[in-house]
Homo-oligomer: A and B are copies of this chain.
Amino acid sequence: MTRKIFVTGGCRSGKSAYAQRFAEAAGPRRAYLATSQALDDEMRERIRIHQDSRGEGWRTVEEPLAVAETLAAAATEADVVLLDCITLWITNCLMADMDDAKILARADELADAIAAAPCAVAVVSNEVGSGIVPDNALARRFRDLAGAVNQRMATQADTVILCVSGIPLAVKGSLPL
């Protein structure tokens, strides 16, 4: 199975859990590409909870920035790669002082790497643009980027899934499970 899925939704809507179930059905060699960086206790705790929720058969690769290259490398020796998540990757890019053009170019490279991957790929992101427009200019820039990158990810995916209260809803293609 070389299906490419993109999973989005609000906070605690079941996105990562759905992507994990997809990956577990895709094959025994599973790579988890984590974009998170444990910079504080709250993040460390969130990462630990996510790790505990994954069972056996996962290889974890942590990469805050070079996700296209890392995904391409992991895909050569896996049945499925789960990239979790896009919005943290964008945050990492902003913290590394990349400008918008560079971030969007990197997103295009990631989309190309996903399309070229010889294995199944699940990409997880977050809906961050359905609240009030933030006061803060950086937050506005972040949510604009998140929307633009999510669109790139959705365009290249076979299936786009919106999670609502833990329930997956196919907005493009059909649910793989």
Residues in A lying within 8 Å of B, measured CB to CB:
6, 8-14, 42, 125, 127-134, 137, 139-140, 142-144, 146-148, 150-151, 153-155, 160, 162, 164-167, 169, 171-172
Contacts and interface: CB of A to CB of B under 8 A. Distances in A.
Contacts of A130: 9-11, 127-131
Nearest to A12: B147
Given A128-B132, A164-B171, A144 B12 contact: yes
A130 B154 CA distance: 17
A128 B131 contact: yes
Contact of A150 (B131, B140, B166): B166
A100 to B, nearest CB: 12
Copies in the complex: 3
A48 B142 CA distance: 20
Closest 5 interchain pairs by CB?
A131-B131, A12-B147, A11-B129, A10-B129, A151-B166
A139 B132 contact: yes
Contact of A160 (B134, B150, B160, B165): B165
A126 to B, nearest CB: 8
Nearest to A143: B11
